Structure 1
Amino acid sequence: MKEAQPRTIFLKDYKKPPFLIDETVLHFDLNEKNAIVRSRLDVRRNPDADSRPKDLYLDGVELELNSVAVDGVLLNKGQYEELSEGLKVLDVADTFVLECETLIRPQENTCLEGLYKSSSMFCTQCEAEGFRRITYYLDRPDVMSRFKTTICADNSLYPVLLSNGNETDKGDLDNGRHFVTWEDPFRKPCYLFALVAGNLLNIDDQYTTMTGRKVDLRMFVEPQNKDKCEHALNSLKASMKWDEEVYGREYDLDIFMIVAVDDFNMGAMENKGLNIFNSSCVLAKPDTATDATYQRIEAIVAHEYFHNWSGNRVTCRDWFQLSLKEGFTVFRDAEFSADMNSRTVKRIEDVNLLRTAQFAEDAGPMSHPVRPASFIEISNFYTLTIYEKGAEVVGMIHRLLGAELFRKGSDLYFERHDGQAVTTDDFIQAMQDASGKDLTQFKRWYDIAGTPVIDVDYSYDKSAQTFTLTLKQSCPSSNAGDAVEPFHIPFAFALLDSNGCNIPLIQQDDAVFANAPTELVLDFVEQEQTFVFQHIEKTPVPSLLRGFSAPVRLKETHSRDQLLFLMSNETDGFNRWDAGQKLAVDIIRSMSEDYIKGEPLSVDSRLIEAYRGLLISKSIDKALLSKMLLLPSESYLIELSEVANVDAIHHARNFVRDTLANQLKPELMQCYHDNSDLDVPYSADFTSIARRSLKNTALALLLSAGDPDALALAESQYANAENMTDQSASLIALVNSDFSEQREAALKSFYARWSKDPQVVEQWLSIQCGSPKYGTLENVKSLMSHEAFDIKNPNKVRSVIGAFCNQSLVNFHMASGAGYEFLADNVIKLNTLNPQIASRLVTPLTRWKKFDQDRQALMQGQLKRILGEESLSKDVYEVVSKSIK
C-alpha cells in the first residue's frame, strides 16, 4: 500500500448523527453514457445529537457535482467544499432543504456498488455504503427517511422502471422517454434504497395475508427467463405464510417485487418492497436447476422476505450491529427451511458450514466478534461470523428460552422498536424482559472472538448408580494472553442404554419422579462445572451437545466402539451423523500419519461394516443416509489439523472412499437401483430430493473407485436425465473419475447444450474447477480463456477462481506455490475492478498458519506481493494487512 493507510472505525467512537433527513426526493435521468441524479433533502439538526457542528458533511464517492443549493438558492464555491469522499456544506441552519445535482457513470461501474449496468439493465446495490456512489447523503443506517423516487428513461430500452414502495405516477415525456414515480411510506436508511430499469417481463401472483389483505407479487426477469419464476414465487408465498404463523408478522405494503440480475456481488438484497436477486439464487426450472439450487432459492427468498421485519422495519443503528439483522434473519430462514424439509438434514448442513469455514474464520487473521469492535471496510464484515455464528447465538437464546418465550421476546422487540435503528443490546433486552431470564452473561457471545472449547470428562459409578459429567470451557482469545470470562453455554445432553434408548435424567439434587426428562439442556455457566445424574442402573453411553446446541469445539473421549454404537443407535439424528463423521475423521487422520511415514494403508473394518449396516437398514431416513454416506471433506480435515498435510489427507481420504466403494459394491448398486425411479416426473418435494440425493451419492462412490459397471450407469444417467440434478450428478461423477475419454465427451456435450444459459454454464465451470481430479491449475487457466468466462462477472469468478482455490485443495496447495501465485495475480487484477470480490477471494491465502513452513513462506510471499501494489483498495488492504506475519 503506497498511499496513506485507510482509517480504522471503532464501535467505541459511535456518535449519534448531528443531522437527520426527514424526506428524500430523488430524480434519475438514465442515459446511455451517464445518469443525472437530482436530490432534494429535508434536513434538520438532530436534537439528541452528541455535538452541534456548524457545517453539514455528506458522504459521496466518485460523484461529479453539477450544482448544490440550500432553500432554493444556488451556492457558490465559497459556501461548500468538495472532498475526496464527500461534500461539506458550510454554516448551515437548523432546518433547511438541500438540493444537489450529480453526474454518475453506471456503465463504467465495475465494483457493482451504487447504480450500475448489468447487461442491458440498470440496477442498484446500496448495502452497505453504496448509496454514496449515487448522490451526496448521510450514508449511515441510523439516518432514516421517507423516499420519493422518479425515474426517467428511454421507453423503448427501459419500459420497466422500479423503485421502493408504491407506484404513484407515470407518464410519457418528449423524445420517446417516459417516467415513473414511486413513494415508500416507511422510513428507511438509504442502504435499503433500490432502483431497476430495463426491458423486463413480469410474472404476477397474489397472496392474501392473515388479515385478508391482497398483496400483489411480481417477479421481473429478462424475457428468456420467464419460465424460471414459479419456484421463487411459491417460496415467497410459503415464507409469507410461515412468518405469519410462527412470528405473527404480516407484510405491510400492497406490492412485493423481485428482480433477477446476472451481475451481483452478493446472493440477494432485501431492499424494502423491491428485492434484487443474483440470478443464480432465484431462477429455477427442473432441467436447468439442481435440487440443491431449488432448496437454496427457497432459503434465500425466505431470508430476504423475513428481512422485511428483522432488518427493514427494525434496522441496525450502525454497521457494528450488522448481525442484529443478519444473524437473526439467518436463524429465521434456517427454521423455515427445517420446517419445509428435514430438520436433521438442515442442521447437518448448517453445522458443516460452521465447523469447516466459520471456525476457520474464528481462528484466522480476520477473526472478530459477532459484534465487531472495529473495521476498515464494512464490506469485509459480511462474514460467516456475522451470519452463521450470529444465527447460532440467536438459536442458543431460542434454546434457553423455549419457543413460547422466544416468540414473546420477538413480539416485544418488534413492537418496541418498529421504525427504529437499534442495537444487539436492544434485542437481548427484549428477550430478557419478555422471558424474565437473565441474559447478562450470555451477551459475551456478541463481544468475544474465537470458538469456545469444551473439555468433556465423565465417569460411571456402578455401586452408587451415578453418572458424573464434568465440563470445562476455554476460549482462544483474539488478543493473545487475554483472560476470557466463561460463556453461558446451553449444553444439550442425554444418556443412552445398551439398546439405544434414552435414560431418564434425574440430577443429584432432584427428587425422584416418574416423568423425568430424557434430554436436558444444561446451563453451563462456569469455567468448570460438574453435573451428577442418579439412578443409572447400567453403564450408559453419553450423547453430548445434541443437535450441536452451541457453536463450540468439543474435546471428548468417545472410543471407536462408542462411535459405532452411536452411528447405529443414537436417537438424535444430528448426533448419529456426527458419530459417523468423528469415526471417519479418526480413521483418516490415523491413515494420514501412515501415509507420511510411508507405511501401507488399511481401513478399519469396523467402518466398512458400519457403512454396510447403514446401507441395508430399512429404517433410516434416506435424506439422513445420503449425508451419512459422505466422508468428512478435505477442507474439514484440514481445519481439524494443527499442521495440515494436504497430500496425506487427500490420499488417505481417497483410499477410505475407494475401499468403501469396492467392499460395498453390491449394497451401493442395490441402493442406486432402489432409488432410480426413471418414470416418475420431477418434483422438488423433500421425499423426491432425498431419493435422488441417495442415488447420486451411491453413484459417485462407485465411480470414484473406477468401477466399469458404475461408468455404464453414469453414462446412461447422463444421456437420459430429464432434470439437472441427475444430469449434473452424473457429470460430476465422470469428472471426478479416471475415465478421461467419457469425461471429456460429457463436458463437451454439456456445454454445447447449455452454453446460452448463464446459470448452467456457471455449474459447468464450477464442476471442473472444483474437482480434485480435474481441477488442475492448467485446466483452470484454460477455462479463464474460454468464451464462457468473464472476470467482471462475480458468479463466473466464484465458479472458476473461487472453486479452484476452495475446493480443488490438493491442486491449489501444490508444493511449488503456483496455485498461490495464481490467486494473488487475480486478486491484484480484481482489486481495480471489484474490490469486494477481490477481498473475499483472497481468503485461502490468509489461512497460511494451517500449513507447513515451506507453504507458509510461499503464501506469505504472495500476501506481501499483494500488499505492495499501488492504490490498493480498502477492502483488500484490510484483509491482507491483517494476514501478514
Structure 2
Amino acid sequence: MKDAQPKAIFLKDYQAPDYWIDTTDLTFDLHEDHALVTSVLGVRRNDDRSDGSSEMPNLSLVGIDLELVSVAVDGQELPADTYVASADQLILPVKSQAFDLTVVTRIRPQENTSLEGLYKSNGMFCTQCEAEGFRKITYYLDRPDVMSKFTTKVTADKGRYPVLLSNGNDIVRGDLDDNRHFVTWEDPFKKPSYLFALVAGDLEVVDDTFTTMTGREVKLRIFTETHNIHKCDHAMVSLKKSMKWDEEVYGREYDLDIFMIVAVDHFNMGAMENKGLNIFNSSCVLASSDTASDASYQRVEAIVAHEYFHNWSGNRVTCRDWFQLSLKEGFTVFRDAEFSADMNSRGVKRIEDATMMKTAQFAEDAGPMAHPIRPQSFIEISNFYTLTIYEKGCEVVRMIQTIVGKDNFRKGSDLYFDRHDGEAATCEDFVKAMEDASGVDLTQFRNWYNQAGTPVLNVTDSFDQASGKYSLTIAQSCPATPGQDTKLPFHIPVAIALLDAEGNNLPLNSAGDTEQVLHLKEAEETFVFEGLSAKPLPSLLRQFSAPVKVKYDYSRDDLVFLLKHDSDSFNRWDAGQRLATEVIQEMVSAQAEGKSVAPDSKLIAAMGAVIADQQLDMAVKARMLVLPTEASLSEQAEEIQPLLIAEARSQVKQAIAAAHKDALLALYNALEQQGDYQPVASDIAERSLRNTCLAYLTELDEADMLNLAASQYDQAANMTDRNAALVAAINASHQDKAVTDRLLGDFLNRFKDDAVVMDGWFAIQASSSVLGTLSHVKALMEHDSFDKTSPNKLRSLIGGFAAGNMKRFHEGNGEGYEFLADMIIILDKQNPQVAARLMTPLTRWKKYEPEVRERMKKALERIKAVPDLSTDIFEVVTKSL
C-alpha cells in the first residue's frame, strides 16, 4: 500500500470546490515514446465559497504519475519555488478572482497498463477517464461537479494516426511539418473531465446520417480497425433505433452535429458515454452473423442504446459527486432496458433482468461490499461500478414509475432534464422532480437510496368462507449490512393477482381489475379482498415489481399450478425456478448426509408440460426450461456446498432429459431453421428454444447425442448455433476426445484472428465442468491467442473459471483459490480495476461450508499481506475479511 491505511471518502463531507474551471483548452502532441499535454484553464473563484476576505485559498489540482514541464499564470511562467508540485498534486497560490492557468505535462501512454487516462491499444491512442482517469493526463480539478467547455487540439504523425478524434464538433484541421497533422475539436456543452475523450489511430469508418425530430441532419460515424469494418452495420442500425426511440419516448433530441463511436480491443469497461465520442470495448459494438451470437447482437443493441441515452441522462445532466453515480447509471439502465424490451421480447427481458438481480445483485447485497445505491463512503470509486449501482438502481427507477404512473414519470423526467440541464445534479434532484411533476409523496421511498440490502417479504394469508373475505398479510424486513444493523421500512410496490381453481385471474375491486399494485409502507400490513367464493392462490410480485425476496408457503403443487396457469410470464418462470430450487436443495441436503434422493417427479412432469405447451411464447418457454444456475442456487443456500450443488443440478438436468428425450428431440428437429440468419425476435426465440433442447439431449450418455451436437456445429450457418453446439459437445455426458478436440480445433482455425470471438473460445473452455480443470486453464494462459494485458481475455479465462465453473474452481484442496490469488496479486500491479473485479468469487467466503471457507479465507489473507496494494484491492480484501 502506498499509505498504511487508505482513507475513506464520505458523502457527508461533500463541499463544492473553491474554484471553477470555465474553459479547458487542451493540446496533445502525440509521439511514440511520450505525449506532451498543454492545458490552458480558465479558472474562476467560486463566489459561493468566498467569505468576502481578500485572502484567496490555494488552488490544489490532482494528478497521477505526471511529469511537470512548466506552469504559467496569465501567460507568465512561474518559478518552481512559487508552487508545490509532485507527481500527484500541484498547489498554487492565487492572487486574483479569475485567471488563465497553463500547465504542460509529459506522460507516457505506451507504458500505461491500467487503461485509465491516455493509453495505447493495438497501436491506437485512446482515453478512459471515468471515474478518475483524467488526472493521469494533466493536473486538474478532476471531479464531476466541475463542468467546463473543452476545446482540444490533437497533433500526431499523419501516416501512423490519420484519424484524430475528440469531443464535440471538429472546427479546424491541417498539416504540419515532418508529416504531422492536427485536428481541433470544440464541445459547446459544459462537461466534467470524466467525459473527456481522445482517439488517434489508423481506423476505417462507416458513415450514416440521422434526421432529428426538428429536421436537423446528424452525421453518424463508427470507427474501427480495417479488418473489422464489416461488423459495424448492426451497431449503426442500433444507434439510429436508439435516437428515434429516445425522441419518441422521452422527447430527447441529439444536440451536436456529429455522433461518433470507436471500437477498442483493450478497454476496462463495456463502453463509455464521452460527449459525442463514445469509446466502446470491441466486444460491445462489433457483430456479424458468423462471429456474433444472438446474445451478442442484443448486447450490442442494448449497450449502444445505453451509451447514447447517456447524452441526456449523464452528460447534459451529470452527477454532482461519485456518490450519485446511480443517478446517471440506474436511470440510464432503466432507459436501455425499456428500449430492449420494446425492440425484442418484453417477457424475456424482464426474466433476464430479474435473473441478474436474484442471483448476482442479491449476492452482492448479502456480501461484504454491500452498499446502498447511493453509498455513504468509499475508498476507491472504481469498486462501486457495481450491480447495485446499475441494476438495483434501475429497479429503483422502475419502482418510481410504478408508483407515480407512466404519464407522470414522463412529466417528471421532462422536469428533471429541463430543471438541471447543464448542471451536476443529485439523486435527490431526480426524486424531487418526480414528486413535483406527479404530486406523489416519495419521502419514505427515499429509503431505497440510503439503505443497503435486499428486503424480504414474509407473506401469509387467510380466507373467511362466510364473509368471502381474503386477507393477505405482508411483513417486510431487511437483513443487517456493513454499517447498517437496522433498517427503516421501505415503500415497496407489490404487484399481485389472485387465481381461481381454473387458473383465471379474479377481479380485485369494483372496477373489475385483475391485477393490483399494493403499496407496502409499514413493517407489516394486511390487505383485504372481498366477494370471493373460495380461497384463491396469490400470484405475488408480478413482473418483479420490486427487487425483494418473497417468502410464501407455496406447496409444490401450487408452484406447478402457477407454472402452468399464471398469466404473468415472469411469475410462470419464477414458479418453475422456485420448484427446481426446492428439489435441488432437497437433493443437496440428502447428499450431505450420505443419502441419495431422486429428483421429485412433480418437477420432471412440470418440465414435460412446458415442453409440450404449444401456446407458450417460444422465447419464454426457452427460459422456463433452463434450470436455476449454480450461482442462483448458491445465493439461496443457507450454506454453500459447491460440489454438491453442481452434482445435484446435473442429476436433475439428466433426469429431465431422460424422461422427455423423445419430446425434446422432436421439438429440436421441428425448430430447424432455413434461410439467411436474421437477429430478429422471432428467429432468436426459435434458436434459443432449439439450443435449449440440445443442451438437455447431450446430458444423455449416448454417442448419438454427442454426434447431434457435432453435426449442428458442422452445419451451423451462424455463431449462435455454432457456439451452442460447441458448448453442448464439450459438456456432454458422453465424451469422445477426438470429437471435442476436432470441434475446438476447427473453431480456433476459423476464428484465431478475431480477438472478440476468441474471448468466447477461452470462456467456453474455462467454464466447462468437463474440460475446465485448473491445469487446462493454466495451459490456455500460455496459448498464442491469449493476451495477459487484455481485460477481455482475463475476464473470459480467469473470470470464466473462477466465477463460472463451480465444480472445477472449488474441487481439490483450494488450488483454484490459490491460483486466483496469484493472478490478483500479479494483475494488481498491471490493472487494479480488472484485478478487483476478478476477486468477487472469494469475497463470499463466509457463506461456504467450513473446509471451503477456511481455504478461501487463506487466499484472501495472502492477498492482504502483499505490500503496496492498490486502493482497489485493499478496499475489497479488507472489507471481505
Deviation at 1:406, TM superposition (A): 0.2
Amino acid of the structure 2 residue aligned with 1:619: Q
CA 1:482 to 1:625, structure 2 compared with 1: closer, same or farther past 3 Å? same
**2:832 equivalent to 1:835:** yes
Deviation at 1:706, TM superposition (A): 2.4
- Structure 2: how far apart are the matches of 1:718 and 1:809? 26
Work out the CA distance in 1 between the residues paired with 2:859 and 2:56: 45
What is the TM-score normalised by the length of structure 2? Answer: 0.98
Structure 1's 2 and 274: CA in aligned 2 closer, same or farther, altered over 3 A? closer
Alignment of 1:314-333 (within 5 A): 314-333=317-336
- Is the Cα–Cα contact under 8 Å of residues 455 and 556 in structure 1 kept in the other structure? yes
- 1: CA distance, partners of 2:706 / 2:854: 42
Residue of structure 2 in register with 1:688 after alignment:
683
Question: Does the residue aligned with 1:188 lie in a helix, a strand or coil?
Answer: coil
Q: In the alignment, what sits opposite 1:412?
A: 415
Q: Percent of aligned positions with the same letter in both sequences?
A: 57
Query: Is the aligned partner of 1:734 residue 2:729?
Result: yes
**1:579-608 deviations in Å (ceiling 9; x for gaps):** 000000011111111212222231211112
Partner of 1:111: 114
Deviation digits for residues 411-448 of structure 1, max 9, x if unmatched? Answer: 00000000000100000000000000000000000000
SS in 2 for 1:152: strand
Report the 3-state secondary structure (helix = DSSP H, G, I; strand = E; otherwise coil) of the residue aligned with 1:625.
Answer: helix
Q: Which residue number corresponds to residue 701 of structure 2? A: 706
Distance 2:770 2:460 in 1: 42
Measured against aligned partners, the alpha-carbon deviations of 1:824-847 in whole angstroms (never above 9, x if no partner) come to 000000000000101111111111
Specify every segment of 5 or more residues in structure 2 that has no aligned partner in the other structure, as ranges.
Answer: none
Deviation at 1:710, TM superposition (A): 2.1
Secondary structure in 2 aligned to 1:804?
helix
Matched, 1:581 2:552: no
Structure 1 CA distance, aligned partners of 2:495 and 2:95?
59
CA RMSD of aligned residues (A): 1.1
Say which SS state the counterpart of residue 28 (structure 1) adopts: strand
Quote the residue 2:376 is aligned against: 373
What aligned pairs does 1:408-807 form with structure 2 within 5 A after superposition?
Answer: 408-479=411-482, 482-506=485-509, 513=510, 515-677=511-673, 679-737=674-732, 738-739=734-735, 740-807=737-804
Superposition map of 1:63-212 within 5 A? 63-212=66-215
Q: Distance in 2 between matches of 1:682 and 1:811?
A: 35
TM-score for both structures, normalised by structure 1: 0.98
Which residue of structure 2 lines up, in the alignment, with residue 213 of structure 1? 216
Report the CA distance between 1:482 and its aligned residue.
Answer: 3.1
Equivalence map 1:810-829=2 (5 Å)? 810-829=807-826
Residue of structure 1 aligned with 2:228, choices 225, 228, 240: 225
1:748 counterpart letter in structure 2: G
Q: Give the distance between the partners of 1:312 and 1:783, measured in 2 at CA.
A: 41
Cα distance per residue 1:41-92 (max 9 Å; x no partner):
0001011127775210001101100000001111112211113521101234
Partner of 1:185, secondary structure, is coil
Whichever residue aligns with residue 112 of structure 2, its letter is N
Which residue is equivalent to 1:509? none
List per-residue Cα deviations over 1:613-663 (Å, max 9, x = no partner).
111111000000000110000111011111111111111111100010011
Q: For residues 565 and 203 of structure 1, what CA distance do their matches in structure 2 show?
A: 52
CA distance in 1, matches of 2:843, 2:589: 25
How far 1:815 sits from its partner (Å)?
4.2
Amino acid at match of 2:856: M
CA distance in 2, matches of 1:742, 1:22: 65
* Contact 1:16/1:50, CA 8 A, preserved across alignment: no
Kindly provide the amino acid, as one letter, of the partner of residue 818 in structure 2.
E
Q: Does 1:290 align with 2:293?
A: yes
2 CA distance for matches of 1:161 and 1:84? 28
Indicate the SS of the match to 2:714.
helix
**Aligned twin of 1:54:** 57
Note if contact 2:66-2:87 (Cα within 8 Å) is conserved in structure 1: no
Name the CA distance, whole Å, in 1 between partners of 2:634 and 2:278.
37
- 1:255 aligned partner, one-letter code: I
| Aligned length in residues | 876
Is the Cα–Cα contact under 8 Å of residues 281 and 296 in structure 1 kept in the other structure? yes
Match of residue 845 from structure 2: 848
Partner SS for 1:43: strand
Paired residues of 2:766 and 2:801 also in contact (CA < 8 A)? yes
8 Å Cα contact 2:453/2:478 also seen in 1: yes
Secondary structure at the aligned position of 1:460 is classed as strand
1:43/1:3 CA distance change after superposition, 3 Å: closer
Q: Check 1:777–1:92 CA distance in 2 against 1; reply closer, same or farther (3 A cut).
A: farther
Separation (CA, whole Å) in 1 of partners of 2:699 and 2:797: 22
Selected match of 1:391 from 377, 390, 394: 394
Task: Give 3-state SS (helix, strand or coil) of 2:279's partner.
Answer: strand
- Letter matched to residue 327 of structure 1: G
CA contact (8 A) 1:772 1:807 kept: no
